[in-house]
Structure 1
């Protein structure tokens, strides 16, 4: 097992980005297998002028095993299938960004593995 301690950020875009982030967060918190290899946190940003209160900005995952990428991507894929309009999810890792829109989960796993090999 490859043990790491890195943060991966998940962002949503669109009109309902904050609600979708909350939904994904709740989904991940119910996934007991996911919690074995990652710490899941919501992070907010300061409000823009005219906004009230903090705005949910991203989900930060502290990943402890890169061998769990396929399971994470499958969890993300399963969550997206429950959404009426499949939201676009941006995954940020070590300065590299992968955008998941209609991509197949196997394709995204290949991208993330390729990113791993660059290091």
Structure 2
């Protein structure tokens, strides 16, 4: 499964999240994390945006991944909004509440067929 993450406060925060995910042993075991450049959305002005790209493998856990992202958000002074994209599905972690986390896990598991790992 391939996921893309965008962070509301810019490239520095995105790289911080990249480091956080690479340091998490559960996420690191099953996910390759890299940063790639992207362009602005149609109709938006600006320069290229960085996107955190994740490729998951066997043993990937949506719950562990979302909890790692939520924990990173809690560690940030401004708690940026994080968008997780998989194809046409967009999951937004804006508040980091238990309901937001549960909703994100359910959405990712539904995309993955409820298996909790790449198929």
TM tier, smaller? 0.7 to 0.9
**Counting strand residues as a fraction of each chain, which structure ranks higher?**
1
Contact 1:42 1:56 in 2 (8 A): no
> What residue is the counterpart of 1:84 in the other structure?
77
Shift of 1:77: 0.9
1:9-34 per-residue CA deviation (whole Å, 9 max, x = no partner) reads: 00112xx3111101101111111221
- RMSD (CA atoms): 2.5
Contact 1:25 1:59 in 2 (8 A): yes
> What residue is the counterpart of 2:6 in the other structure?
11
The DSSP-based 3-state class of the residue aligned with 2:72 is helix
The DSSP-based 3-state class of the residue aligned with 2:112 is helix
Shift of 1:100: 1.1
Which consecutive unaligned segments of at least 5 residues does structure 1 have? 1-5
The DSSP-based 3-state class of the residue aligned with 1:36 is helix
Q: How many residues align structurally? A: 108
Alpha-carbon distance between aligned partners in 2 of 1:71 and 1:65, rounded to the nearest angstrom: 14
Which of structures 1 and 2 has the bigger CA Rg?
A: 1
TM-score by length of 1: 0.76
Which runs of 4 or more aligned residues in structure 1 lie more than 4 Å from their structure 2 counterparts after TM superposition?
Answer: none
Change over 3 Å in CA distance of 1:82–1:95 after alignment to 2:
same
Which consecutive unaligned segments of at least 5 residues does structure 2 have? 115-119
> What residue is the counterpart of 2:108 in the other structure?
112
TM-score by length of 2: 0.76
